[in-house]
Amino acid sequence: MKAELKQLIALQNADTCIRKLKADLDAVPERRAEIDKEFDQRAFEFKTAEAQRDAARERRASLEAELAETRAKAEHSDRALMASTNEKEYTAAIREADAARKHASQLETQILEQMEAVETAEKRMAELEPEVAKLRAERDEQLAAFELSVEREAERVDECRREREQLLAELPKPMGALFNRISSRIRNGVAVAEAKNGACTACFMSLRPQVMADIRRGDEIIICDNCNRILYYAGSAAAAEQAQTIS
Ligand SMILES: [Zn+2]
């Protein structure tokens, strides 16, 4: 029985390892984003200039499109002017062509302004570039180290899963089933708990001296009346060592 209790504890350790690593691995996108966010914060001024450049480029592109349309409109008015057969048509065409040319000239001014804004932003970016290159290299290093640690976590979780399967296969079937039943019912999945100083360390319920003595002997599986966990006594050095890795 003592050997089986040890196996149950090892099984619990494997489960705890799997659960913790799985939580870490589930959080990988957020952990990665955190590194990017830190870079963005440190490179704030550069990022601002970059955003200003992009906005100015976009604005310029839409102004260029509007200018092309306006020029087409002016040409259309010119043709209408040539084809006009009376005073009224003639005056309307002149007015339209004038308005279009005036608008085109305003657009050209605005385009120049956006080109200047792009230039200013690019100049600021160039000034900040050496510093940002350093920050970028640091971030890339951090990301590479992070990916490596994620890889190791993934390997370790596989190891724990294999270990769990093996432990479960070695245990008598009813005991394995009991463990799985308890572990699936309990919120944090911890199915075994240490009995210490006359109490269950998981739910703090006190245990009768007789029960405590039975647990200490370890001849049979004893379950906490209150939280339904399998109780063990970590008196021996080996068991205590095992137990430490659980808590
Ligand atoms: Zn308990």
Average of per-residue pLDDT across 161-180 = 93
Average of per-residue pLDDT across 105-116 = 98
* Alpha carbon of 213 to ligand 1 centroid (Å): 16
- Assess whether pLDDT exceeds 70 at residue 246: no
What is the SS3 assignment for 196? strand
Q: What would the pLDDT profile of 28-45 be if each residue is shown by its tens digit?
A: 999 999 999 999 999 999
pTM tops 0.75, yes or no: no
Residues composing the chain:
247
Q: Mean of the per-residue pLDDT values for the chain?
A: 92
- Return d(Cα 220, Cα 218) in angstroms, integer: 6
pLDDT at 1: 59
* Alpha carbon of 75 to ligand 1 centroid (Å): 89
Q: Please report, for the chain, the start and end positions of each structural domain, with discontinuous segments joined by +.
A: 28-168, 172-246
- 28-168, CATH topology level: Helix Hairpins (1.10.287)
237: pLDDT confidence band, cut at 50, 70 and 90?
very low
- Assess whether pLDDT exceeds 50 at residue 247: no
* Alpha carbon of 32 to ligand 1 centroid (Å): 39
- Return d(Cα 164, Cα 245) in angstroms, integer: 15
pLDDT at 241: 53
